[in-house]
Amino acid sequence: MNHTAAELAKYLGAKLQGDGSLALTGVAGPENATATDLIYLDAPKFAARIEKSAAKCVLAPPSTRVAGKTILEVSDPKFAFAKAAAWLLPHATPKSAIHPTAIVSPTAKIAENVSIAPYAVIEEETEIGAGTTIGAHAFIGRASRIGTNCILHPRVTLYAGARLGDRVEIHSGAVIGSDGFGYVFGHASGEDRYWKFPQVGRIEIADDVEIGANTTIDRGSLETTQIAAGVKIDNLVQVAHNVRIGEHTVIAAQTGISGSSTIGKRAIIGGQVGIADHCKLEDGAIAGAQAGIPTGKTIRGGQIVWGTPARPLEKFKEQYAWFARLPELAERVRKLESTTIAKAQHTETD
């Protein structure tokens, strides 16, 4: 569906400068845009790209002027661009139907306007909310609950009893509610073997969460693994049993979060971060890429940490600078040692 620049300005609460009747059909980068695509300018250094673009409508900071362009003035162009994209290019809605090859238990409760693709398996006593899409070969375990307008892409697996809120999107290959990695070795009893600790807790995912491809989130052992509203988790992330993640936290790819750790609201976790068990990252904490956070450590609210073991960013940069100079410092030490030895030998000769 096409929209006009004036309609988009009203939706975003933006100030319109230029032709409000300009048609908008999509979004693009400046170099690839057509006349009906929306683009954005968030820094003056990119102004030349905007001027050369074929796009006629630009999201830009207040008081920006670009010759030949209709400007929608917003305080945060990149954020507004993301909102505009969701509005201009909504998800295609699959036809509401259950494919003949899908296996759906007669005890499952399927609401209206649900799409279930080929070879999906829906076990007994599950509930699927209105407007939800279940992709091909997906597996929805017994007594799971899925809210409204969710999207489960092909080959998503929900173990028994998983709970999903509304508007949750889970990408292909993700596994939700698998057993956590919990074993007890029989030292005191004299049994030289591991016994599996019970993994009988729950997994609860709140509204507006997005989970990337091939990510795994374990159910609680005796408690509940909880992913709060608005959390965004990248591909190939491991979230262990009993972990709790606060609202609107983002976690980048290949991060591993060990059991019983807690991450607060609006935290930022970079790629390949390792978080050991029973750690706590308070609200707004930031862990830079490849940071390693040892068992039981607390990262204070708003603190930025980097490195392994994780330490405050300024401390990390100072230490890393010295580390980078080690070859030079080693050479200086060798020269000083040579000079000292030579002087000592000269003194002995005298």
345: in domain: no
pLDDT digits (tens, 9 = 90+) for 73-114: 999 999 999 999 999 998 777 788 999 999 999 999 999 999
217 plus 130 within the same structural domain: yes
30 plus 74 within the same structural domain: yes
146 plus 80 within the same structural domain: no
- The predicted structure's pLDDT at residue 343: 76
Residue 171: domain span: 103-313
Higher pLDDT, 174 or 313: 174
For 36, 52, 229, the CA distances from 33, given in Å and listed in that order, are 8, 10, 34
272: in domain: yes
122 plus 226 within the same structural domain: yes
Residues in the chain: 350
239: in domain: yes
Average pLDDT over residues 13-22: 95
Q: How far is residue 94's CA from residue 20's CA, in Å, rounded to a whole number?
A: 32
For 344, 347, 350, the CA distances from 337, given in Å and listed in that order, are 10, 15, 20
Which among 88, 122, 143 is the end of a domain?
Answer: 88
Average pLDDT over residues 309-327: 88
At 268, which helix (H) or strand (E)?
A: strand 268-269
pLDDT digits (tens, 9 = 90+) for 52-73: 999 999 999 999 999 899 999 9
26 plus 151 within the same structural domain: no
Order of strands across the sheet with 268-269?
115-116, 133-134, 151-152, 169-170, 210-211, 232-233, 250-251, 268-269, 286-287, 304-306, 311-312
122 plus 83 within the same structural domain: no
49 plus 155 within the same structural domain: no
If one counts the domains in the chain, the total is 2
Catalytic entry in 187, 241, 278, 346: 241
Mean pLDDT of the chain: 94
Give yes or no for a contact between 316 and 307, defined as CB atoms under 8 angstroms apart.
Answer: yes
20 plus 166 within the same structural domain: no
Give yes or no for a contact between 263 and 245, defined as CB atoms under 8 angstroms apart.
Answer: yes
- The predicted structure's pLDDT at residue 349: 63
Q: How far is residue 12's CA from residue 14's CA, in Å, rounded to a whole number?
A: 5
At 303, which helix (H) or strand (E)?
A: none
127 plus 185 within the same structural domain: yes
Kindly tell me if the per-residue pLDDT of 251 is higher than 90. Answer: yes
Side-chain half-sphere of 280: how many Cα atoms within 13 Å?
6
Is 241 among the residues known to form the active site? yes
